[in-house]
Amino acid sequence: MQLNAIFPTRDIGNDPAKIRDWAQAAEDLGYAYIEVPDHVLGAAARDGWTPTYNEHDPFHETFVMLGFLAAITKTIRLSSGVLISPQRQTALIAKQAAEVDLLCGGRLRLGIGVGWNPVEYEALGTEWKTRGARQAEQIEAMRRLWSEDLVTFKGRFDCLEAVSIVPPPLQRPIPIWLGGVSEGAIKRAARLADGWMPILPPDAQGEQKLALLHEEMCRHGRDPGTFGLEAWLRMQDKDPRQWAAAADGWRRLGAGYVMLYPMFRQPKFEDQIEMLRRFKEVAGG
């Protein structure tokens, strides 16, 4: 089981040198991936709705940051984690991902989700209620744009007429992994994705969700043994014993990757580096 590192977008600050030093530390420690979170806009609470992240939480732009990381790393793989694809134009995502893949030498994985923030969808002029259906269609369209020299595609949400992405990515197609733990997200992952990235503890509920994934994959004639699984370990406390127990639990469930997903803040740069070291130590990656 390998370890991935979430880019500390809320705490890293705006100094490119510190971003470089953090990314190179993750690479030197042997992490498999750096994953860059996504939010285009922050949103203030309203009408009884409280966002997970608000208007004060900083989020670096996902694809720009991936391009920067491509230039300052050599071997560590890169991923969005997760990009809210239905609130973006499909062809633009495909173009940006292709460019990052080219610049990083084929080290990109596209992690996508449907999100939890209807305010952001509305502000970006996209439809919240059809986000699952749109994501499913986007996966098909993006794979074709990455794999074919000229694409004609007519769907419910996108219409492409004899178009291409030039230059193309090195990976044709780029791997697509899905986040989300709803029944709909799991079924889409089982049917369409190359891997699944749940935020779940390795408990009875986690086992049930994993069983649903495998059941759906078999129903579609897919082999769970060739499918990727990365567990996000959502942690409220700076307790390495909890991190280790969660990592061990997902190791028993067959995860190929785990990533510490801290909900606590680490404003000091040295603490961000130390967390990389400590998680590597206790999770045994």
Three-state DSSP class for 63? helix
146 touches 171 (CB < 8 A): yes
CA pseudo-torsion sign 86, 64, 191, 246: negative
- Mean pLDDT over 80-108 rounds to 98
- Mean predicted lDDT score pLDDT of the chain: 97
The predicted pLDDT at position 139 comes to: 98
284 pLDDT higher than 90 = no
Over the stretch 108-149, which tens digit does the pLDDT of each residue have? 999 999 999 999 999 999 999 999 999 999 999 999 999 999
Helices (H), 36-168: 62-72, 90-103, 118-123, 131-147
Structural domain that includes position 38: 2-283
**Closest listed residue to residue 231, CA positions, set 195, 258, 270:** 258
Place of tokens 């952001």: 120
175 pLDDT higher than 80 = yes
Query: Number of structural domains, the chain?
Result: 1
Q: Is the pTM of this model over 0.95?
A: yes
H-helix or E-strand spanning residue 24: helix 16-28
**Closest listed residue to residue 34, CA positions, set 53, 62, 59, 1:** 62
CATH code at 74? 3.20.20.30
Over the stretch 208-227, which tens digit does the pLDDT of each residue have? 999 999 999 999 999 999 99
Three-state DSSP class for 262? strand
Place of tokens 């239905």: 86
247 touches 233 (CB < 8 A): yes
Q: Could you tell me which residues come within 8 angstroms of residue 92 by beta carbon, excluding any fewer than 6 positions away?
A: none
**Closest listed residue to residue 257, CA positions, set 165, 188, 194:** 194
The predicted pLDDT at position 2 comes to: 98
- Mean pLDDT over 224-251 rounds to 96
